[in-house]
Chains A and B, each alone.
Chain A
C-alpha cells in the first residue's frame, strides 16, 4: 500500500470514516465490558451508558460520512465506485447505500443502536437494564467488527467500506485505477434495485432483523439472572413489534419481486426470502408462548428457546446469504467478502453463550467453556473442523436438554386438552418445526460442504408440498383455539360454538374449491391429486380461520377493535395464505392457449410454452385477448415495448381494452434487466414481461427486402453453417465436368453446392449456389432460399485442402422487429395484499394494547 496522495483525492473522508469505524468498535467493546462489570459493581453503569451513546454517535458518523461520499461522488472510494455513478438518478442514493454488504451491515447496526437507545431509556435503573444492554452491546461489538477491515494474524476481520480503489485487492492493479479514472468507470447500482420498493424494503426488513435482538437479549438476560418469569410482559410489545415489522419487510420484498423482477410471482422460496421468513415464523411462535406465559404461566423453556432461536436464525441466515456458501444454489449471486469464518464464529459464539448460561452448575459450566475453547483452538490449529463442529453442536444440544431437566423450572400440572394454552403451544411448535424444515432445505448447500455430498437444493414445488400441511394445521389452530379458555373449557360448548363457522367454511370452501381444483384445469407443473386435495383443504381451513376469527371479533369481543388485535391479525394471516394459494395455484399462462397444432404434434415439449412471439403490427390471440405489439420507444436507458390488448365485443369485433408497457433496462455496465408491467384489476392481475427483444430502436434504415451483410464461411462437404434460423449443411458438390475434361476443353466448369437448410422445425429446404469458371474467370451464381430468406454465393474452391468458400447473407426482413413476451394472470392476488394490510393493522393494535396493559400494571 502506498501513502501517496494524488491530486483530487479526498483522503479526509476515508480517514474520518475510519476513525468512526474504530470508535464504534472500541466504544461498543467498552460499553459491553462496563455493562457486564456493572452487574457486579454498579459504579460502572455510567461508563457503560456513555460508551453506548458514543457508539451510537460513531455509527451515525459512519453513515453520515458514507452518504456524504455517495452524494458528492467520491469515486476514489471503492464502495462509492461500486455502487453508484453519475448517470444514475439520485433518488436511488439510498439503495446505493445498502446495496453492498457493508452498507446493509451498517443499516442493521443503525437499527440496533436505535432500538438500544429506546430500551436503554425504557429500562433505565431497572433490573433488566444491565443484562439486556450487555447483550445489545456485545452484538454491536460483533457488528462493528464487520466493518473493521483489519488483519489479525493473516486473518481478515471485517470488510471496510472506506477502502480506496487503489487499496482494494481486486481493483488495485487495474489500469484505470492506476490512471485514476474513477468517475467514468464507476459501476453504479444494480438495475433491479432501481425501484421505489428498494428504498423502503431493506430498512424495514433490517429493522425487523434488529428487533429480534430485543426478545433475545431479554431471554439471555433471564438465563443469566435466573429470573425466568419477569421479562415477558416488558418484551411482549417488542415481540409483536418484531412480528409486525419483519412481516411487513418480508411482504414488501415479495411486492418488489412481483413488480420489478421477472420470475413471475411474489415468492420463489429463494434462500434470501427463506432466511428472512424463518426468523419471523419462530418469532411468531415465541410471541404466542409469551402470551401463554403471561396469562397462565408455564411454557418457560419454549419461550426462551424460541426467542433465542429467532435471533440465532437471523445470524445463521446472515451467514448463509453473506458468506458465499450458497454458491450456485441460488439465483442470487453472492459475493464472498472473505468473512465466512467471522460469520461462523459469530453464530457459534451466541450458541455458546446461550448454552453456557443454561448450565447452573459451576463445575459443569466451567468444563463446558474449557472444552469448547479447546475444540476451537484444536480446530483452528489442526483442522478436522467439520467433525469438531458437529461434535460440538451435538454436545451443546445434549447439554441443552440435560440442563432443561436439571435446572429449568417446570410446570407441575399437565395442560388440559381443552385449554387454549395447549393448542396455542402446539401452534408455536408447528411454527418452529416449519421454520426448521425450511432452514434445513435452505441449508442443503451447507450440508454439501460439510459432508461432501452433491444434493441439489429443492425446487419450489417441494417447499409447497411440505409447507401446505403446516399451513392447514395452523389455520385450524388459528380458527379454533380462540374459543378455548385458558386452563379449562367445556368441550361441548366449545364444539357447539365452533361448529357454526366450521360448517359455513366447509360449505363455502367446498363450493369454491371443488370447481377451482377438480372441475377446471390447474396448469401448474407436476401437480397431482394429492396436491389438489391439499389446496382444497387449505382453502377450506383458511376460510374457517377467517370466519371463526370474524365470529370471535363480532360476537365475543363485540366488535371492540382495541381488544381484537389478535383476531384481526389472524384474519389477515389467513387471507395472505388464501390469496397466495389461489393466485399461485390458479396462475394462468396466457400464451399457452395459442399453441400451434402442427407444433404440438411434434412432441409433448411443445405445448409447454409460456412465451408468445409478437411481430410488430401483427395481432395474435392470447387467452381471452387479442394482443398487438405496437412498437417501442427508448427513454434514457429503458426501452419500453407497447403492447395493446383487445377484447371481442358483442359484435365479435376487437375493442381496445388496455395497453401495457413492459420494459427492458439496457444498463451499459450491468447488462439487461427485464421489468414487468402489470394491469391490476380488483379480481386479478395481468402480468407481462419481455423475455427477448431487440433493444435497437432505430429501424427506419432497414429496407424490408434487402439482405444484411454477407459473411464468408470456409468448409468441407459435410460441414454445417449456422444462420439465425437454420442449420445449413453442405450436403455435396456436383460438377458438370471432370477435372480432365475441364483442363482439356475450353468449356465452362460448373460446380453446384448442394445445401440442405434445416430449420428449427426440422424441415429441410434446399439451395443450389453455383461456382462457374469460364476462361479462368470465376462467375459465381448466387442462390436465394426464399422460405428462409437466405442468400448463398459459392465463390471459391481451394484445391490444396479441398475446402470451399461460401458467403451467406440473411434477409433483413428475417429480423422484422418482434418481441417474445410472457404473460400470466394472477387471480385474486389482491386478497394477499389486503391480507397483509389487515395483518399489519391487527398486529399494530395488539402492540398498542400490550403497551397500554403494561403501563397500567406498572
Chain B
C-alpha cells in the first residue's frame, strides 16, 4: 500500500494547499472605507443604489461605462464607475454587489451583481 499512501499524502497536500493559496489571494467583502484605505486591492462592496444621485449612461460616448452612486452598508456614499453597460432593470435592484477597486475618488467596478425583488426567485437566472 505504499504507493497509495504517497498518493494519499499528495491529495491531502494539494487540498490544504488550495485552501491556503485561495484564501490568501481571494478578494473580500468590504465597505468603502476599507476599500479606500487599501486602494490596490480588489474588493466586493455590497450596498444600495443612491436614488437621489444621478445615473449617467451615455452609450454614444462609451457603451461600456456607467456611473452612479452607491451607499454601502455603513452608509458611506461613493461615486461608482462601472466598466460595463448599464444593467437591465438597474433601478429596481434592491441590493448591489460591486467588484472592483478604488481609483482616485471613484470606485471602479469591473463587475456587478444585482438582486432584484421577486424577479429572480429561487430558480436559475442570471444578471450581469
Q: Which residues of A contact B (CB under 8 A)?
A: 82, 99-101, 104, 187, 190, 192-193, 253, 257, 261-263, 268, 270, 272, 322, 328, 330-335, 410-411, 414-415, 417, 422, 425-426, 429, 433, 436-437, 440-441, 444, 448, 453-456, 458-459, 462, 466, 591, 599, 605-606, 608-613, 664, 670-674, 691-692, 722, 724-725, 727, 759-761, 818, 820, 822
Inter-chain contact A440/B116, CB cutoff 8 Å: no
Against A, the Cβ 8 Å flags (1 = close, 0 = not) of B1-30 are: 111100100010011001100110111111
Within the assembled complex, what's the spacing in Å between the Cα atoms of A127 and B43? 57
Determine which of B63, B67, B123 lies in contact with A611 in the assembled complex, contact meaning CB atoms within 8 Å: B63
Which B residues are in CB contact (< 8 Å) with A262? 126, 128
Any A CB within 8 A of the CB of B36:
no
Which A residues are in CB contact (< 8 Å) with B125? 190, 192-193, 261, 331-333
Most chain A beta carbons < 10 A, residue from B95, B99, B125, B128: B125
Determine which of B46, B62, B97 lies in contact with A609 in the assembled complex, contact meaning CB atoms within 8 Å: B62
Quick one: given A761-B61, A820-B85, are A456 and B29 in contact (CB under 8 Å)? Answer: yes
Which A residues are in CB contact (< 8 Å) with B85? 611, 691-692, 820, 822
Within the assembled complex, what's the spacing in Å between the Cα atoms of A599 and B122? 41
- Within 89-111 of B, Cβ neighbours of A (below 8 Å) are at 89, 92, 95, 97, 99, 108
Within the assembled complex, what's the spacing in Å between the Cα atoms of A478 and B28? 38
Which A residues are in CB contact (< 8 Å) with B57? 692
Quick one: given A328-B46, A441-B22, A456-B27, are A613 and B60 in contact (CB under 8 Å)? Answer: yes
Determine which of A187, A448, A613 lies in contact with B63 in the assembled complex, contact meaning CB atoms within 8 Å: A613
Knowing that A426-B7, A722-B54 touch, tell me 15 more A-B residue pairs with CB under 8 angstroms: A263-B128, A272-B124, A331-B125, A332-B125, A333-B116, A333-B122, A410-B1, A456-B44, A462-B25, A605-B108, A609-B63, A691-B86, A692-B86, A759-B58, A822-B85
The 8 closest A-B pairs by CB, nearest first: A691-B85, A611-B63, A722-B54, A456-B44, A671-B89, A609-B64, A454-B29, A760-B61
Whole-angstrom distance between the Cβ of A466 and the nearest chain B Cβ: 7
Q: Which residues of B contact A (CB under 8 A)?
A: 1-4, 7, 11, 14-15, 18-19, 22-23, 25-30, 43-44, 46, 54, 56-65, 67, 83-86, 88-89, 92, 95, 97, 99, 108, 113, 115-116, 118-128
Inter-chain contact A608/B64, CB cutoff 8 Å: yes
Residue of B nearest to A453 (CB): B28
Most chain A beta carbons < 10 A, residue from B3, B119, B123: B123
Within the assembled complex, what's the spacing in Å between the Cα atoms of A597 and B62? 12
Inter-chain contact A455/B108, CB cutoff 8 Å: no
Inter-chain contact A332/B126, CB cutoff 8 Å: yes
Within the assembled complex, what's the spacing in Å between the Cα atoms of A104 and B25? 37
Residue of A nearest to B55 (CB): A722
Within the assembled complex, what's the spacing in Å between the Cα atoms of A611 and B86? 11
Interface of A is mostly: mixed
Inter-chain contact A606/B62, CB cutoff 8 Å: yes
Within the assembled complex, what's the spacing in Å between the Cα atoms of A611 and B64? 6
Whole-angstrom distance between the Cβ of A529 and the nearest chain B Cβ: 18
Which B residues are in CB contact (< 8 Å) with A415? 3-4
Residue of B nearest to A821 (CB): B63
Which A residues are in CB contact (< 8 Å) with B121? 82, 99-100, 190, 333, 335
Within the assembled complex, what's the spacing in Å between the Cα atoms of A331 and B62? 25
Which B residues are in CB contact (< 8 Å) with A99? 121-123
Which A residues are in CB contact (< 8 Å) with B86? 691-692
Residue of B nearest to A411 (CB): B1
Which B residues are in CB contact (< 8 Å) with A599? 61-62
Whole-angstrom distance between the Cβ of B69 and the nearest chain A Cβ: 12
Pull 15 A–B residue pairs with CB atoms less than 8 Å apart, ordered by A.
A190-B119, A190-B123, A253-B124, A262-B126, A262-B128, A328-B95, A331-B125, A333-B125, A414-B4, A433-B11, A466-B22, A605-B108, A672-B89, A760-B61, A818-B60
Determine which of B23, B60, B88, B95 lies in contact with A672 in the assembled complex, contact meaning CB atoms within 8 Å: B88
Inter-chain contact B58/A760, CB cutoff 8 Å: yes
Which A residues are in CB contact (< 8 Å) with B118? 187, 670
Inter-chain contact B126/A261, CB cutoff 8 Å: yes
Determine which of A268, A334, A437, A609 lies in contact with B126 in the assembled complex, contact meaning CB atoms within 8 Å: A268
Whole-angstrom distance between the Cβ of A168 and the nearest chain B Cβ: 14
Determine which of A193, A722, A725 lies in contact with B123 in the assembled complex, contact meaning CB atoms within 8 Å: A193
Residue of A nearest to B2 (CB): A414
Residue of B nearest to A321 (CB): B122
Within the assembled complex, what's the spacing in Å between the Cα atoms of A671 and B121? 13
Which B residues are in CB contact (< 8 Å) with A727? 54, 56
Within the assembled complex, what's the spacing in Å between the Cα atoms of A417 and B2? 11
Which B residues are in CB contact (< 8 Å) with A104? 123
Whole-angstrom distance between the Cβ of A546 and the nearest chain B Cβ: 26
Inter-chain contact A725/B30, CB cutoff 8 Å: no
Determine which of A331, A335, A466 lies in contact with B128 in the assembled complex, contact meaning CB atoms within 8 Å: A331
Within the assembled complex, what's the spacing in Å between the Cα atoms of A422 and B14? 19
Residue of B nearest to A611 (CB): B63
Whole-angstrom distance between the Cβ of B4 and the nearest chain A Cβ: 7
Determine which of A332, A609, A674, A691 lies in contact with B124 in the assembled complex, contact meaning CB atoms within 8 Å: A332
Which B residues are in CB contact (< 8 Å) with A437? 15, 18
Determine which of A192, A331, A411, A466 lies in contact with B18 in the assembled complex, contact meaning CB atoms within 8 Å: A466
Within the assembled complex, what's the spacing in Å between the Cα atoms of A187 and B118? 9
Which A residues are in CB contact (< 8 Å) with B56? 722, 727, 760
Which B residues are in CB contact (< 8 Å) with A268? 126
Inter-chain contact B97/A328, CB cutoff 8 Å: yes
Within the assembled complex, what's the spacing in Å between the Cα atoms of A288 and B7? 17
Within the assembled complex, what's the spacing in Å between the Cα atoms of A166 and B35? 46
Whole-angstrom distance between the Cβ of A160 and the nearest chain B Cβ: 16
Residue of A nearest to B30 (CB): A454
Which A residues are in CB contact (< 8 Å) with B43? 456
Quick one: given A433-B14, A671-B116, A692-B63, are A454 and B58 in contact (CB under 8 Å)? Answer: no
Determine which of B61, B92, B95 lies in contact with A759 in the assembled complex, contact meaning CB atoms within 8 Å: B61
Inter-chain contact A455/B28, CB cutoff 8 Å: yes
Most chain A beta carbons < 10 A, residue from B3, B27, B28, B126: B126
Inter-chain contact A331/B127, CB cutoff 8 Å: yes
Which A residues are in CB contact (< 8 Å) with B46? 328
Inter-chain contact B29/A263, CB cutoff 8 Å: no
Which B residues are in CB contact (< 8 Å) with A441? 22
Residue of B nearest to A432 (CB): B11
Which B residues are in CB contact (< 8 Å) with A822? 85
Whole-angstrom distance between the Cβ of A101 and the nearest chain B Cβ: 5
Which B residues are in CB contact (< 8 Å) with A611? 59, 63-64, 85
Inter-chain contact B63/A820, CB cutoff 8 Å: yes
Inter-chain contact A671/B64, CB cutoff 8 Å: no
Determine which of B59, B122, B126 lies in contact with A100 in the assembled complex, contact meaning CB atoms within 8 Å: B122
Quick one: given A190-B123, A263-B128, are A671 and B26 in contact (CB under 8 Å)? Answer: no
Whole-angstrom distance between the Cβ of B33 and the nearest chain A Cβ: 13
Inter-chain contact B26/A455, CB cutoff 8 Å: yes
Inter-chain contact B123/A692, CB cutoff 8 Å: no
Which A residues are in CB contact (< 8 Å) with B64? 608-611
Quick one: given A190-B120, A454-B28, are A257 and B126 in contact (CB under 8 Å)? Answer: yes
Inter-chain contact A674/B29, CB cutoff 8 Å: no
Which B residues are in CB contact (< 8 Å) with A670? 118-119
Which A residues are in CB contact (< 8 Å) with B54? 722, 727
Within the assembled complex, what's the spacing in Å between the Cα atoms of A761 and B28? 32
Within the assembled complex, what's the spacing in Å between the Cα atoms of A100 and B123? 7
Inter-chain contact B115/A333, CB cutoff 8 Å: yes
Which B residues are in CB contact (< 8 Å) with A456? 26-29, 43-44, 99
Determine which of B4, B18, B60, B113 lies in contact with A725 in the assembled complex, contact meaning CB atoms within 8 Å: B60
Which A residues are in CB contact (< 8 Å) with B63? 591, 609, 611-613, 691-692, 820
Whole-angstrom distance between the Cβ of B60 and the nearest chain A Cβ: 6
Quick one: given A417-B3, A692-B85, are A101 and B122 in contact (CB under 8 Å)? Answer: yes
Which A residues are in CB contact (< 8 Å) with B124? 192-193, 253, 257, 272, 332
Within the assembled complex, what's the spacing in Å between the Cα atoms of A458 and B120? 22
Within the assembled complex, what's the spacing in Å between the Cα atoms of A69 and B7? 56
Which B residues are in CB contact (< 8 Å) with A820? 59, 63, 85
Which B residues are in CB contact (< 8 Å) with A330? 113
Which B residues are in CB contact (< 8 Å) with A725? 58, 60-61
